[in-house]
Structure 1
Amino acid sequence: MTTTLNRVKMIHTDFKQSIWLDFIDRAIMRTGKLKNLIDEDGIRGGTSNPAIFEQAISANSDYDEDIEEFAKFDADPENIFYQLAIKDIQAAADLFMPVYNEEVDGADGYVSLEVSPLLALDEKNTIAQARELWQAVDRKNVMIKIPGTLPCLPAIKKAISEGININVTLIFGLERYEEIAYAYIEGLELGLAAGQKINRIASVASFFLSRIDLFVDPLLEEKGLVEFKGKAAIASAKTAYGLYRTIFSGERWEKLAAAGAKPQRLLWASTGNKNPETKDTVYVEELIGPDTVNTVPLSTIDAFKDHGLPANRLEQQPEHALAILESIAQAGIDMEEVSLQLETEGIIKFETPYKQLLLSITEKVNKK
């Protein structure tokens, strides 16, 4: 009997990259589909965001009974939402716990829950909510998502110093990525100096991809540089990976590693391709490489299972990636300005469904 090769599973077994699912809701857990993805396809973690929860809670009745029950004690829609989300994240974390326990100190098996997107520029309330969610979920394999905005860098550092696992989200540029990586290191150093054990702290830096190309490609077309369309995001990611290898090496890092610290892995996010002119698995195929994570929509996982081509491409031709970014810069496109604009837009893209989610919960409460 022949065994069909599972292309998704190969990404981890052969190339040491972890594939996480960029989707969590009750139906995928209730039906056993998530467990099947873990067991059969080698999915090694999960991420959520306000847009995913808005779709899950607004579009079906899976949450209605809990909404009614929670509203008896507190009708505030935000408090109801987080009670719903915490319940889901706990259930998902329990499903991923065997993955967390596979390797020393929990290399994978994490599930992410985001602080309110309304706090994206609010350091004080971000760290306060990160602490609350960390304690409320009460799972060692949860990550709290904090946006990588300039005001939230101190919150990221503080959370890490307190032993909270952090998924830093909404990263679009190389300068900000570097600041985030050093915030992680500084947080570990503070924790170690305070007597905190740092061998169980985990973090990822979520670099968003498809939105970069969606923004930059029209600018390239205007300038007649069509040969670079669809390449800015991958070039940025490969360059970020080079920074990662540099930052998490050397004497400063080795002192932390000796105390059990793990590098903050790069996580490729926004990897569902939104451009019909290019291959639907491009942001998976081109960025497979060791010690990284890719959080992938279910449709892209299915596509990769069908026709993906697993190979280590992340480490190939780093000089070519730098040359692409240099050519884009010479054309007058400032990628740091692009990243800041995308960050602003990204906050809005999470705020909008979050506000709609709260409105939907309010409507469900008022119908009872």
Structure 2
Amino acid sequence: MGKLNDLSAAGTAVWLDFVDRKFLEAGGLQTLVDEDGLTGVTSNPSIFEKAMGHGDAYDETLAAFDKEHPGAATIDRYEHLAIQDIKAAAETLKPVYDRLDAKDGYVSLEVSPYIADDTDATIAEAEKLWHAVDRPNLMIKIPGTPAGAPAIAATIAKGINVNVTLLFSQEDYQRVAEAYATGLEERVRQGQPIDRIASVASFFISRIDAEIDGAIDKRLAAGDAEAEALTAIKGKVAIANAKLAYAWYQDFIASDRWQALAAKGAQPQRLLWASTGTKNPDYPDTLYVDTLIGPETVNTMPPKTMDAFRDHGTVAETLTQDVEGARHVIAEVERLGLDLNGVTGRLVEAGVASFAGAFDDLLGAIAKKQPATA
């Protein structure tokens, strides 16, 4: 038993924010499952761009696909590669899924970032990817944009597990949590079971501090009269924001609406802490793991953060500690005019744009590996 196992025992499931063909084939994921109690994997276009766009790990598979499907579109070639990796990860995690009775053991695959603002296209692609992978422990990642919320409800209603991504604000999180409940309620109306449907709400952490801290530093450099108050909340806003999201979650699962679904076997939509690698070198490298530990949560970590926590992380139930202090931090953000709502709104747009850019690069790299035509 190590610190990552202890983290899981404290209620925060350990997921890996990384997938790569060579890593899977070398048994790296299985080792994390066996030794660290890992119970999930997330992917996104940026991760796939790094994996597929560089090196030759995928060349043999791609050549075989091209031979069988001459003239295939670049997007189809990408999906073939991605689906193979996701299937392999899902197979590794299937014993975890079985042991935990569908409460964990999931691998996530994201819909195209190009359709983040198109509800109908998102629903259609979620269904297509779900059937293509054909594994019960798959989650389809759907961004928590305004167009994403109704897509989430519709996708859940179809019996498809959903990982809601790119959540930064409490309001956006609340909207998608209610969308999850709406999807489950629709299944109940249809007489369909809801006990083996799972969802997580991926709430992004470090990018909020990066933005807010940058604004604070500019004001401090300009000799702002509120220097003491600004300094006092620096590096604390993202954690406070997450703690208040979790406090809302606790109230929601205690509500009559949720309890009616729970009575029919519904699983709560766990909050998943994403973007948990620290961007500021002055902060401890395990900051966004140590401070967000609590029941029914997930922390998806890049390998570097996972290694750091295994070495020197601290396990304690911190998520419910000093919630009033968190409320004070957010109130100070408002009083000081740091515009958290504006920051989170811009981060959603930037996140979609970043994933679209990574997808552009990914498809471009795959297109360059197109076999020469006669």
Question: Which TM-score band applies after superposition, normalised by the shorter structure?
Answer: over 0.9
Paired residue type of 1:258:
A
Is contact 1:175–1:336 with CA below 8 Å preserved after alignment?
no
Is contact 2:103–2:196 with CA below 8 Å preserved after alignment?
no
Q: For 2:214 and 2:48, how far apart are their aligned partners in 1?
A: 31
Q: For 1:326 and 1:366, how far apart are their aligned partners in 2?
A: 58
2:232 corresponding residue in structure 1: 227
How far off is 1:350 after superposition? 0.5
Q: 2:92 aligns with which of 95, 108, 112?
A: 95
Deviations 1:297-336 (A, max 9, x none): 1111111111111111001011100100000110012211
The question of 1:244 aligning with 2:241 is answered no
1:156 corresponding residue in structure 2: 152
Is contact 2:240–2:326 with CA below 8 Å preserved after alignment?
yes
The question of 1:65 aligning with 2:60 is answered yes
Q: For 1:83 and 1:248, how far apart are their aligned partners in 2?
A: 39
2:44 corresponding residue in structure 1: 49
Paired residue type of 1:24:
V
Q: Which runs of 4+ in 1 moved over 3 A?
A: none
Is contact 1:220–1:228 with CA below 8 Å preserved after alignment?
no
Q: For 1:265 and 1:331, how far apart are their aligned partners in 2?
A: 32
1:218 corresponding residue in structure 2: 214
Is contact 1:75–1:365 with CA below 8 Å preserved after alignment?
no
How far off is 1:366 after superposition? 4.2
Q: For 2:55 and 2:236, how far apart are their aligned partners in 1?
A: 38
SS at match of 1:287: coil
Normalised TM-score (structure 2): 0.95
Taking only aligned residues, the RMSD between alpha carbons, in angstroms, comes to 1.1
Q: List gaps (5 residues or longer) in structure 1.
A: none
Q: For 2:371 and 2:324, how far apart are their aligned partners in 1?
A: 58
Is contact 2:66–2:371 with CA below 8 Å preserved after alignment?
no
The question of 1:298 aligning with 2:303 is answered yes
Is contact 1:174–1:336 with CA below 8 Å preserved after alignment?
no
1:38 corresponding residue in structure 2: 33
Deviations 1:181-239 (A, max 9, x none): 00110111011101111111100000011111111101122153122111111000000
Q: For 1:32 and 1:273, how far apart are their aligned partners in 2?
A: 27
Is contact 1:115–1:146 with CA below 8 Å preserved after alignment?
yes
Q: For 1:348 and 1:59, how far apart are their aligned partners in 2?
A: 21
Is contact 2:49–2:361 with CA below 8 Å preserved after alignment?
yes
Normalised TM-score (structure 1): 0.96
Choose 217-226 or 165-174, whichever is displaced more.
217-226
Choose 95-104 or 84-93, whichever is displaced more.
95-104
Q: For 1:83 and 1:256, how far apart are their aligned partners in 2?
A: 37
1:114 corresponding residue in structure 2: 110
2:319 corresponding residue in structure 1: 314
Deviations 1:228-265 (A, max 9, x none): 11111100000000011111122111111111101100
Paired residue type of 1:100:
Y
The question of 1:21 aligning with 2:26 is answered no
Count the aligned residue pairs.
Answer: 362
Paired residue type of 1:192:
V
